[in-house]
Amino acid sequence: MKEKRQKKILELISVMDIDTQNQLIEELKKAGIESTQATISRDIKDLRLIKELTTKGTYRYVVPMGGAADHSERLKNIFRESVTDYVCAQNIVVIKTLPGLASAACSAIDKLNLDNLAGTLAGDDTAFIAMLNNEAAEKLCREIGEYFV
Please tell me the predicted confidence (pLDDT) of residue 46: 85
What's the pLDDT tens digit per position in 2-38? 888 999 999 999 899 999 999 999 999 999 999 999 9
CATH architecture of the domain with residue range 77-147: 2-Layer Sandwich (3.30)
What's the pLDDT tens digit per position in 54-97? 888 888 998 876 544 455 566 667 777 788 999 999 999 999 99
DSSP 48: T
Residues 124, 99: Cα–Cα separation, whole Å: 6
Q: What pTM did the predictor assign?
A: 0.53
Please tell me the predicted confidence (pLDDT) of residue 64: 75
Task: Of 101-105, 106-110, 123-127, give the lowest mean pLDDT range.
Answer: 106-110
Q: Quick check: 53 pLDDT over 60?
A: yes
CATH, range 2-67: 1.10.10.10
Q: List Cβ neighbours of 1 (8 Å cut-off, separation of 6 or more).
A: none
Is there a shared CATH topology between the 2-67 domain and the 77-147 domain? no
Which parts of 22-147 are beta strand (E)? 50-53, 59-62, 83-89, 92-97, 117-122, 126-131
β-bridge partners, 60 = 52
Residue 66 Ramachandran class (φ > 0 left, ψ -120 to 50 alpha, else beta):
left
Residue 133 — very low, low, confident or very high, per pLDDT cuts 50/70/90?
very high
Cα Rg, the chain, nearest whole Å: 18
Domain ranges of the chain: 2-67, 77-147
Burial of 96 (C-beta count, 10 Å sphere; 0-12/13-18/19+): middle
DSSP 16: S
Please tell me the predicted confidence (pLDDT) of residue 69: 47
